[in-house]
Copies of this chain bind each other. A is one copy, B any other.
């Protein structure tokens, strides 16, 4: 890794951390420079604009999510085991990591603000829903899941389970949040299993 790439990586890691606390909309090159003890002009050379920084934070968070949830799922046997592995990876991201949370908070910040950040959020979400639907479709093809399963509905419902988990875990610090999420996921899966 070149020195520039290493710096970029370190800055983005801090930026995700910060976005997680102050929101993606609250993230500025100035506040990030202060946090990193770097010059604002140095950081500006890396990121050019606040919007570009925000988009790169999303891209970085997306990469972490793919690494921790999507790739391990794709390396797992098709059908139910794969969908379950995805759920476990997503749960771990949501519980421990800052990356997963950025998408959650960014949504309510940018839903009324047309622009490149909102476009990025929308397209990332569509990609995630498509990946889940694809995994479910594989399970249907293999005869593990019911042929009348609606893969897009499953993706929508699983997203709801994860949002409820975020809410219960992050806002309410509800001790049984994870148990509730697991039970909701099991019910979802039981409804499509043959």
Q: Which residue of B112, B160, B187 is within 8 Å of A163 (Cβ)?
A: B160
Q: Is A75 an interface residue (CB 8 A)?
A: no
**Would B153 and A183 count as touching, CB distance under 8 A?**
yes
Q: Is A9 an interface residue (CB 8 A)?
A: no
Binary B-proximity of A165-194 (CB < 8 A = 1, otherwise 0): 101101110000000100110010001000
Q: Is A164 an interface residue (CB 8 A)?
A: yes
The size of the chain A interface, using a CB distance under 8 A, is: 39
Closest to A25 in B: B23
Closest to A172 in B: B122
**Would A184 and B156 count as touching, CB distance under 8 A?**
yes
**Would B171 and A125 count as touching, CB distance under 8 A?**
yes
Q: Is A104 an interface residue (CB 8 A)?
A: yes
- The CA-CA distance from A116 to B87 in the complex, in Å, is 34
CB-defined contacts of A184 to chain B, threshold 8 Å: 153, 156-157, 160
CB-defined contacts of A20 to chain B, threshold 8 Å: 112
Q: Is A107 an interface residue (CB 8 A)?
A: yes
